[in-house]
Amino acid sequence: MNDTLPLATPLEDASDSDPLDDIEEASTRSFDLALHQSVYRFGRLYSVIHRDQHPWPIDELEQDRLEEQSILLCELFRGRLFLAPIESPRSVLDIKTGTGCWAIECADRHPASTVCGVDLVKMQHEWVPPNCEFFIDDICQPGWHTHYKDMEFIHISQIHGDRQLLSLLLEGSYSCCIPGGWVEICDMSVQLEESGENSPFHGFFRDIATAYARDGRQLNPPLHFGTELAQHGFVNVTAHSYLIPLCTEGCDQLMRGIVRNWAAGLEAYSLALMEKHLGKGYLETILLCASAREALRKGIKGVLQIQVVYGQKPGFN
């Protein structure tokens, strides 16, 4: 059943109230409902607000996948939530927080800290630790960072190939980070050894690359994270790369789990953009994803590269 909400609800009759208060209340209520407005497309639930900037589902299926991904990455990082050399940051900003699971875990592990999670869309948990809070904000606009100040650590993930957004986020992060504070970016990309092959996986990958490019996105921004951090004024920039074979035969359970989780998201990555830019319908894209996963199971030469890059704002002692 579609749980789409109206953008606004009628105001109750309150003849003694101040008209300006009524207008402000109506505006606030309308904005709050807009954050929760959603629509079913391709059998998946999408947020209506900022749908061009976030053309990915926000339903329970995707939330579960993202939360599993966060657990797998934490295991890959040997139990660490971040790799930057800071032990217990007092103020943390988690940008593109998604379900908020990373921010919640960070708040639980560091009860003396204040953790803020921010994203374009509403898919965060309602029950959070007392030192954790979530905000829905248009982080695609210059000046988004003015709401967040004096951060010791800023965590950024899942920019989905948008280098313009990455630049805005790093510009804002530099402004709201304290001198000596750290910014860390984590994301993943696929590197194929034989990109010219004609397997269903290679065909799907070429299609999604075309769709992303027409949407102003790229598939390999993680390779440029270090350069972007340095260009935005950060120093002590350090990169860590984890190469997970796409052909998981002989790999341990963790590597197989990471690839399986990533492959489970093929529909989420592609449905909206394939339709918008390539004219592919729901059934065609579903079949392409299924064929790509089958080819992946048979063995594809290449790696899923998980890139973690951090840098420090200068001005520290």
Band of the pLDDT at 42, cuts 50, 70, 90?
confident
**pLDDT at residue 34, as a whole number:** 52
What are the tens digits of pLDDT across the range 250-260? 889 999 999 99
What are the tens digits of pLDDT across the range 86-126? 998 999 999 999 999 999 999 999 999 999 999 999 999 88
Give CA–CA dist 282/14, Å, rounded. Answer: 48
What are the tens digits of pLDDT across the range 179-238? 999 999 999 999 998 766 789 999 999 999 999 999 999 888 788 899 999 999 999 999
Q: Where are the domains of the chain?
A: 1-11+20-41, 42-312
What are the tens digits of pLDDT across the range 79-97? 999 999 999 899 999 999 9
Q: Which of 112-116, 125-129, 163-167, 243-247 has the lowest mean pLDDT?
A: 125-129
pTM listed for this prediction: 0.87
Name, in order, each residue with C-beta under 8 angstroms of 18's C-beta and a sequence gap of 6 or more. none
Q: Domain 42-312: which CATH class?
A: alpha beta
